[in-house]
Amino acid sequence: MSVFKNFLLFSSGVTVDLIKQCPRFEVNKYMSIGMTIVFTTILSILSSYFAFYLIFDSETIAIPLSFLWGAIIFNLDRYIISSMRMGNSKWQQFLKSIPRILVAVIIATVISKPLELKIFDLEINNFLNQQKADLAYNIEKKYDAELIDIEEKKHNFRTEYKNMLSLRDKYYEEYKCECNGTCGTNVKGYGQECNDRKKRYNVYVADLEEEKKRMDSTINLLSKRELEIKDLIINEKKLTIPQRYGFIDKLKALKNIDRMSSIFIFSLFIFIETAPLLTKLLSDKGPYDNLILQHEIKFESEYRKKLDIYNNERLKNKRINDLESDLEIKSKETAMRNLIKNEAYEQYNKMRELIDAKDYKTNGN
């Protein structure tokens, strides 16, 4: 077989040496399963790249992490397929495969979501930008009433001042007109009426100057408050409106854009991820499964033989140890008896020598 075919068979989780003993149709089945796992791994690498790039914003970090994640998914898929054993009951096979199906669904979820984010990237950005605009609008709206009130007050002060300027000009025209003799008394020169009008004009100009100072002071205070409010708006926007959206934010936005399309893509990935598992689950027991069963039975029988030999050796050694223990105990008992006999004999000899010594002394006397 070529290297590529061997790689596909390896990807499917089979033992290459065993599958080579199977018919061609069995080899093709597992090559198809291996190809599906390879495609799933490629999709997981792409998906994780988008996710890691979105999180770390660095290709240097995203690329190695995405290949590491792809290797993890590849190994998990191989384990899920290789750990399945075909039995005679489909129902039992299905019950045993439920945990593996759940793992496959979790893997499909992890793979599909980053790809969904990339597919709907434009729509998600538009949605998030609209959210930004809504937040900015709500913040500005909160201070609109006070800003409008300040602007109205400033406008009223300016309008009032313009009216006062117009009245000042009017008083000036009447004063000049009277003094020139073109209106009023029609008498030219500085008469009583001319002086009265001049006095009225000068008093009004003085009052106007005071009013302008008061008005400028009030307008300055209003302008200062207006700047404070605008600074508050800017600071609140900085605190409230995110400058950059992360992975979780985009996932939340995805739910509000097009739920049906998201469900469709998610279902497609679940189908792709569970396809090898379902293929093996729905297939009848094939030649490869029989070979696996044959090797398992052979291994188990050899293991049991070795276990029996080990148990026999263990029992034999136990019996030998028990016999040795018994012999050792008997030997110790014999030695103890001999020791007691020797000690008793020595005591007897000592006592006999003492008695003989006393008898000798008695006879000598």
Q: What is the pLDDT of residue 202?
A: 84
How far apart CA 263 and CA 270 sit, in angstroms, is 10
State the Cα torsion 204-210-212-213 to the nearest 10°: 170
- Give the amino acid at 304: R
- Within a 10 A sphere around the Cβ of 234, how many other Cβ atoms? 11
Q: What is the pLDDT of residue 89?
A: 63
Radius of gyration of the chain (CA): 53
Side-chain half-sphere CA neighbours of 181 within 13 A: 5
**Contacts (Cβ under 8 Å, ≥6 apart) of 27:** 5, 9, 19, 20
Q: What is the pLDDT of residue 186?
A: 66
- Within a 10 A sphere around the Cβ of 166, how many other Cβ atoms? 10
Q: If we measure between CA atoms, which residue out of 128, 122, 120 comes closest to residue 242?
A: 128
Q: What is the DSSP letter of 9?
A: H
The encoded tokens of residue 33 equal: 């399963």
Q: What is the pLDDT of residue 189?
A: 64
Q: What is the mean pLDDT of each run of 10 residues along the chain (365 residues)?
A: 83 83 85 86 84 80 89 84 68 71 77 78 84 85 85 86 84 78 68 78 84 86 87 83 76 77 77 74 74 79 80 77 73 75 74 68 57
**Contacts (Cβ under 8 Å, ≥6 apart) of 30:** 8, 9, 12, 14, 19, 288
Query: What's the predicted TM-score (pTM) here?
Result: 0.53
- Within a 10 A sphere around the Cβ of 171, how many other Cβ atoms? 19
- Give the amino acid at 99: P
Q: What is the pLDDT of residue 359?
A: 63
Q: What is the pLDDT of residue 340?
A: 77
The encoded tokens of residue 345 equal: 């004999």
Specify whether the backbone of 189 is left (phi greater than 0), alpha (psi in -120 to 50) or beta: left
The encoded tokens of residue 311 equal: 């148990």
How far apart CA 9 and CA 29 sit, in angstroms, is 9
Residue 89 to residues 92, 97, 296, Cα–Cα distance (Å):
5, 12, 19
Q: What is the DSSP letter of 13?
A: T
- Give the amino acid at 313: E
Three-state SS string over 261-281 comes to HHHHHHHHHHHHHHHHHHHHH
The distance between the two most distant Cα atoms of the chain, rounded to a whole number of Å, is 199
How far apart CA 162 and CA 172 sit, in angstroms, is 15
Q: What is the pLDDT of residue 115?
A: 77
What distance, in Å, lies between the first and last C-alpha atoms of the chain? Answer: 121
Tell me: the pLDDT tens digits for 96-143? Answer: 677 777 877 787 777 777 777 777 888 888 888 888 888 888 888 888
